[in-house]
Amino acid sequence: MKNISLYLMGSFMLLISGVFLFFLGVYFLSSDYILFLDWEILSLNSCSVMMTFLFDWISLVFLGCVFLISSMVIYYSEIYMGSDIYSSRFYFLVLMFVMSMMMMIISPNLMSILIGWDGLGLVSYCLVIYFQNYKSYSAGMLTVLTNRIGDVSILLAIAWMLNFGSWHYIFYMNVWNDVWMFYLILLIILAGFTKSAQIPFSSWLPAAMAAPTPVSALVHSSTLVTAGVYLLIRFSHMLLNIDCSFFLLLSAMTMFMAGLGANFEYDLSKIIALSTLSQLGLMMSILFIGYPILAFFHLLTHAFFKALLFLCAGLMIHCMSDSQDIRHMGVMINHLPFTCSCFCISNFSLCGLPFMSGFYSKDMILEMMSTSYFNLFIFTIFFISVGLTVSYSMRLIYFCLSYNMNCNNCQSYYEDNLMMKSMMLLSFLAILGGSCLSWLIFNNPSLILFPLHIKILPILFVLLGGWLGYEISFILLCDSFLFFRYYSLSYFSGLMWFMPMFSTYILYNSFFSLSKNYDSVMDSGWGEYVVSSGPINLFSKFGKLIVWYQYNNVSVFMLIFVLLFLISLI
């Protein structure tokens, strides 16, 4: 009973806090009000230690959404982790995770941001290796080492801000000094890219799926991966002063690569992880185009439907005895009707189906991108990526819900009341969250006029992507002639453009060879002979010589006397 009350109590407290903070953020937005709190922790002579908090509508609304989603995830975990003997440890780890994110959100100071930033990285490592096996350890190391690059860049940014006189970045938003500011913003972009898994740091995000499913729901919706986007939204005023076209290219390529890879994948968790990567690329792209509020709007709507998608997938995997292969999940809608309904709602919202939550943010992003002065390549990549999103979502729905009877007969399918209640609120937000937030954030409607063929392009690509996903579902890739003919292309596309290899054994393979050569030459070769064994051999020879001399000293003296006498005669 202790564990049950712990989860339910934590969930209830987070839910109340989340609702309160969300409505407080709406009040701050309507009043155009910002609260900047300085808390003096210690004052000794002329030295003072200050803790600073920033409460504006962005931080409060985002914090409210994080708490709402976390409350539903903890409520869901009460059943999902109920049979785990360390369930209380899991609860406190998740709570530390949420508190680290809170610390990062409300900080206007790079020092306090680092506390939350580092907390996210370390707790995520503990959660990824929660199920203790070699695969989890490898995924945890890849996750934490990639994120350490971002941590180091934040540390360097803290050191670099000594040139400014304060670590409160918010004071220097509208001040631009070419020399100092350029390096600072580059370091911040590097930190954001590592945390949000953009190219070339993308490989850790699918690997982090080794964590329990409730953790994945938190990580992929509102905490770890969104921290990088949120940080860049906070620094977005500085981005206006530099050329972001290269970063835009990387973000657009991340979006395209993830959408393409998900169409070749059969692991349910990996497909949803790649969809998160695709949406992060979309947020980063529109941020670098110059619309940070739009990126924040999509960040919130994406958090609602992605958390719901993971919770539904977690229940499906739970019922399938932890099998994640979508080819084993035929006609699950007969066994799990409510879960599959929520699964379809979240997938439709992800696709950008009209009047769902994701439609409002995605459609506005595509329209604002179309009004921006970027080339045809970016324009094409954006629309193709939207089509690919619908394609893999339709393929997922087809395989899991309406495919033939591939499911095993011995599975125990059940829908728990607690799990269903946690999905209900998120389903409500996945349907209505986008429209409500669009009315709140964009209170002055902006009229965007396009020709008819440009205006209907997003809907057209959604329909085309759905048709493509349905057609792909019928093609068994392993049996098709085209798959074998273009096997290298399929392998390249389905393996995230070889990025997991570049991040793992390709990176350290050459170092292993180098260390082997050094070992054979130095430690086991001349180094061993000269450094380790050399002095011992030398002293042993000296010792033998001295012993021989001690036993034969009279003969040696006589011999030396005779030789010296002969030399003197000569």
**Predicted local confidence at residue 178, as pLDDT:** 67
Q: How far apart are CA 239 and CA 248, in angstroms?
A: 12
pLDDT score of 540 more than 80 = yes
Tokens coding 373: 């002065």
pLDDT score of 226 more than 70 = yes
pTM, two decimal places: 0.84
Tokens coding 302: 């994406």
Q: How far apart are CA 31 and CA 24, in angstroms?
A: 10
pLDDT tens-place string over residues 482-505? 666 666 777 777 777 777 777 666
Query: Hey, is 443 helix, strand or coil?
Result: coil
**Predicted local confidence at residue 299, as pLDDT:** 92
Residues in a beta bridge with 37: 53
Q: How far is CA 361 from CA 322, 368, 425, 435, 542, in A?
A: 34, 11, 20, 9, 84
Closest by CA position to 211, among listed 144, 160, 264, 257: 144
Under 8 Å between Cβ of 227 and 117: yes
Looking at residues 416-426, what average pLDDT do you find?
82
Q: How far apart are CA 414 and CA 270, in angstroms?
A: 24
Closest by CA position to 121, among listed 189, 197, 50, 68: 197
Q: Count H helices, E strands: the chain?
A: 26, 2
Looking at residues 361-379, what average pLDDT do you find?
87
pLDDT score of 324 more than 70 = yes
CA 256 to chain centre: 17
CA 191 to chain centre: 12
pLDDT score of 112 more than 70 = yes
Under 8 Å between Cβ of 150 and 191: yes
Q: How far apart are CA 229 and CA 299, in angstroms?
A: 8
pLDDT score of 107 more than 60 = yes
Q: How far is CA 525 from CA 324, 518, 532, 537, in A?
A: 50, 9, 10, 15
Query: Hey, is 196 helix, strand or coil?
Result: coil
Mention every residue, 6+ apart, whose C-beta is less than 8 A from residue 50: 38, 39, 40, 41
Q: How far apart are CA 170 and CA 151, in angstroms?
A: 20
Q: How far apart are CA 252 and CA 278, in angstroms?
A: 9
- Write the single-letter amino acid at 365: I
Closest by CA position to 423, among listed 277, 214, 269: 214
Classify strands 35-44 and 47-55 as parallel, antiparallel or unpaired: antiparallel
Looking at residues 441-457, what average pLDDT do you find?
83
Higher confidence at residue 195 or residue 411? Answer: 195
Residue with tokens 């998160």: 276
Q: How far apart are CA 4 and CA 12, in angstroms?
A: 12
Give the H/E segment covering residue 36: strand 35-44
**Predicted local confidence at residue 64, as pLDDT:** 92
Backbone angles phi, psi at 502, to 5 degrees: -65, -30
Looking at residues 179-186, what average pLDDT do you find?
83
Q: How far is CA 548 from CA 539, 551, 556, 559, 563, in A?
A: 14, 5, 10, 15, 20
Mention every residue, 6+ apart, whose C-beta is less than 8 A from residue 58: 25, 233, 234, 296
Closest by CA position to 407, among listed 320, 322, 340: 320
pLDDT score of 287 more than 80 = yes
Backbone angles phi, psi at 177, to 5 degrees: -120, 115
What's the mean pLDDT when you consider all of the chain?
A: 83
Give the H/E segment covering residue 425: helix 417-441
Tokens coding 154: 């934040």
**HEC-encoded secondary structure of 65-126:** HHHHHHHHHHHHHHHHCCCCCCHHHHHHHHHHHHHHHHHHHCCCEHHHHHHHHHHHHHHHHH
Burial class (CB in 10 A: 0-12, 13-18, 19+), 288: buried
pLDDT score of 426 more than 80 = yes
pLDDT score of 237 more than 60 = yes
- Lowest-pLDDT range, 298-307, 333-342, 547-556? 547-556
Residues in a beta bridge with 55: 35
pLDDT tens-place string over residues 546-560? 888 777 777 777 888
**Predicted local confidence at residue 63, as pLDDT:** 92
User: Before 500, cis peptide (omega within 30)?
Assistant: no
Q: What is the DSSP letter of 449?
A: -
Give the H/E segment covering residue 49: strand 47-55
pLDDT tens-place string over residues 57-93? 999 999 999 999 999 888 888 887 777 788 888 888 8
Q: How far is CA 283 from CA 78, 192, 299, 480, in A?
A: 32, 12, 7, 35
Residues in a beta bridge with 47: 44
End-to-end CA distance of the chain: 109
pLDDT score of 451 more than 50 = yes
Cα-Cα-Cα-Cα dihedral sign, residues 16, 22, 26, 27? positive
pLDDT tens-place string over residues 251-275? 999 999 888 888 888 888 888 889 9
Structural domain boundaries in the chain? 1-242, 244-478, 525-569
pLDDT score of 1 more than 50 = no
pLDDT tens-place string over residues 26-66? 999 988 888 988 888 877 777 777 788 888 899 999 999 99
Burial class (CB in 10 A: 0-12, 13-18, 19+), 336: buried
Give 2's pLDDT tier (boundaries 50, 70, 90).
very low
Q: How far apart are CA 66 and CA 383, in angstroms?
A: 29
